[in-house]
């Protein structure tokens, strides 16, 4: 057997092992992952008092450490969880934040709330505690937060301020997560240190990774109309700009040959329908995505650029194509420069219209 065959077999064996690990071999030691996909109901704060009845009940982190993936969707949100400790121990609690472009100023804190038999509400809380309850509150994370890689969700996370709390067996505790500066974003609340020795379901593991990666946590609504509109716009940009680049490349490379009209005519048979399809998708996506904004500002400029692309298609079909047909049967006579240059100019007009429409759309999304 050749060396190539050995290498090929090793490659396919590695692929099979990788698929088996990812698909069936879930980690043997892991924390329990909870993805909160809906907002707490009823409200967590009523008349400035924390509503403990609204807490989301979770498993005991003294038995299996927890990673709660959730989000503060609106300014002033308070997310509330509860558990009953089955063992007495000192347990770490920390709020992590995914490293993303919009989370650099998002610094949530966590408060462990417990029954003490007397009034003991700290003054730093943005809400009041019910009578007989007190709280231990983490500090606001510093500006230079270190990061850590989370192997279960493949994300890099900002560290929060860890607090060590002593819990008593049989007592019920509450965890309240909030952002003192009313910022919003995704977070991961981690509690406990004991990983589970039980195998994790591969299906639920993959489901949790998908929901966390896509940010479908904390009752965040999926903007399906905007999603569809952007998909159509970018699909139109790919198809329209790609077809124009093919036609322009053919036109520029063969502009000085006698076969230029024939080559471009055959190229346009394919590229012109794709160009029209791309523009149609882009316009339909724009109407879907900008339906609430209306015509004004950058959306209006993008619409003008789309009109320029439509004009370019019109010129290529009703001006350039007849010219190509006229010079195709001239016995090898080259197309004069006075005729070639306006046609080449239409390629540049279409290219820059598409290109600037793409740049402005990206700018609109980022700003």
26-54 pLDDT per residue, tens = 443 445 556 655 555 557 777 788 888 88
pLDDT for 333: 62
Estimate the share of the chain in helix, then strand, then coil, as percent rounded to the nearest 5. 45, 20, 35
> Average of pLDDT values for 311-328?
80
* Distance (Å, whole) CA 146 – CA 210: 25
Q: Which CATH number fits domain 24-213: 2.120.10.30, 2.60.120.380, 3.40.50.720, 3.30.2290.10?
A: 2.60.120.380
* Distance (Å, whole) CA 191 – CA 61: 6
pLDDT for 51: 87
Provide CB contacts within 8 A for 173, sequence distance 6+: 82, 83, 84, 85, 112, 113, 114, 167
Is residue 111 within 8 A of residue 136, CB to CB? The reply is yes
pLDDT for 144: 84
> Average of pLDDT values for 289-299?
81
pLDDT tens sequence across 195-205: 664 545 667 66
* Distance (Å, whole) CA 12 – CA 211: 30
pLDDT for 253: 78
Mean pLDDT of the chain: 79
> Angle at which helices 224-253 and 337-366 pack, to 10 degrees?
160
pLDDT for 336: 73
| pLDDT of 314 above 80 | yes
Beta bridge partners of 212: none
């Amino acid at each position: 057997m050749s060396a190539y065959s050995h290498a090929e077999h090793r490659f396919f064996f590695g692929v099979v092992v990788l698929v088996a690990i990812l698909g069936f071999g879930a980690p043997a030691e892991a924390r329990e992952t909870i993805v909160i996909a809906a907002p707490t109901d009823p409200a967590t704060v009523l008349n400035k008092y924390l509503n403990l009845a609204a807490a989301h009940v979770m498993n005991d982190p003294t038995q299996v450490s927890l990673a709660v993936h959730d989000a503060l969707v609106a300014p002033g949100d308070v997310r509330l969880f509860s558990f009953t400790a089955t063992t007495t121990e000192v347990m770490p609690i920390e709020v992590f934040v995914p490293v993303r472009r919009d989370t650099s100023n998002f610094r949530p804190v966590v408060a462990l709330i417990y029954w003490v038999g007397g009034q003991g509400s700290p003054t730093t809380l943005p809400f009041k505690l019910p009578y007989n309850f007190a709280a231990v509150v983490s500090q606001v994370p510093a500006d230079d937060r270190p990061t850590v890689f989370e192997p279960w969700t493949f994300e890099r996370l900002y560290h929060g301020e860890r607090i060590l709390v002593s819990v008593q067996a049989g007592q019920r505790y509450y965890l309240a997560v909030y952002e003192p500066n009313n910022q919003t974003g995704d977070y991961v609340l981690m509690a406990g240190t004991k990983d589970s020795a039980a195998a994790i379901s591969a299906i639920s593991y993959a489901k949790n990774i998908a929901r966390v990666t896509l940010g479908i946590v904390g009752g965040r609504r999926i903007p399906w109309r905007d999603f569809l509109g952007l998909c159509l716009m970018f699909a139109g940009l790919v198809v329209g700009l790609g077809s124009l680049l093919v036609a322009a490349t053919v036109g520029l490379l063969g502009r000085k040959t006698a076969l230029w009209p024939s080559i471009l005519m055959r190229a346009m048979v394919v590229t012109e329908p794709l160009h029209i399809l791309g523009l149609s998708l882009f316009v339909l996506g724009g109407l879907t995505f900008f339906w609430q904004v209306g015509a004004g500002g950058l959306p209006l400029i993008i619409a003008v650029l789309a009109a320029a692309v439509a004009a370019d298609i019109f010129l290529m079909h009703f001006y350039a194509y007849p010219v190509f047909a006229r010079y195709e049967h001239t016995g090898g006579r080259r197309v004069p420069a006075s005729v070639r240059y306006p046609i080449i100019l239409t390629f540049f007009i279409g290219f820059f219209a598409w290109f600037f429409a793409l740049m402005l759309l990206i700018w609109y999304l980022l700003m």
